[in-house]
Amino acid sequence: MLKYLLLIVMLATPVMAVQPDEILADPVMEARARDISKGLRCLVCRNENIDDSNAELARDLRLLVRERLVAGDTDQEVEDFVVERYGEYVLLKPMFSLSNAMLWFAGPALLIVGGWISLVFIRRRSTGAALPEEGLTADEQAKLDALLRG
């Protein structure tokens, strides 16, 4: 909900996302610009990429991305250029670096640990045939049958 309340601030400037005058003539290059834009954060917005954002600053960034592409930069070079200027904060996908190791490895690590625990658990279950089955007592079974007939 808060997100939408914050949208008020952004919508106060009635500019809408990518404008017709920003679009590059070369469709391939424009597609690259759009792809890059989707990974860059609008710095004054809340969790919004510059491609979707209505803010002035997002427009400036979109134009900057296109400028660099026209100047012949590769996608990576454009990204590096923007990060150089605005810091890692601008990337919606944090860098695959040591300081972000926990973020990136949380999923795989938990899966491995959880998978291992599950496997041990299931193996114990499947070999633990010696344990008595704790089913329903005869009395409970009779009651259940009566209910199901009910």
Establish if 27 lies at the interface with other proteins (CB under 8 A). Answer: no
Give the interface size with other proteins as a residue count (CB under 8 A).
Answer: 63
Establish if 24 lies at the interface with other proteins (CB under 8 A). Answer: no
Q: What is the rounded CA–CA span in Å between residue 42 and residue 3?
A: 14
Establish if 104 lies at the interface with other proteins (CB under 8 A). Answer: yes
37: Cβ contacts below 8 Å, ≥ 6 apart: 18, 49, 50, 51, 61, 62, 65
> Which residues in the 33-72 window bind other proteins by CB under 8 A?
38-39, 41, 46-49, 52
CB of 41 vs other proteins, minimal distance in Å: 5
CB of 8 vs other proteins, minimal distance in Å: 6
Nearest to 65 by CA among 24, 17, 15, 102: 24
Type of residue found at 73: D
CB of 16 vs other proteins, minimal distance in Å: 5
Q: Is the dihedral of CA 141, 142, 147, 150 positive or negative?
A: positive
| Run of H or E including 28 | helix 27-38
Nearest to 44 by CA among 19, 7, 93: 7
Task: Among 29, 70, 77, 87, indicate the residue that binds other proteins (CB under 8 A).
Answer: 87
Q: What is the rounded CA–CA span in Å between residue 79 and residue 133?
A: 61
Binding residues (CB under 8 A) for other proteins: these are 1-8, 11-12, 14-21, 23, 38-39, 41, 46-49, 52, 87-94, 99-100, 102-104, 106-107, 110-111, 114-115, 118, 121-123, 125-126, 128-129, 131-135, 143, 147-148, 150
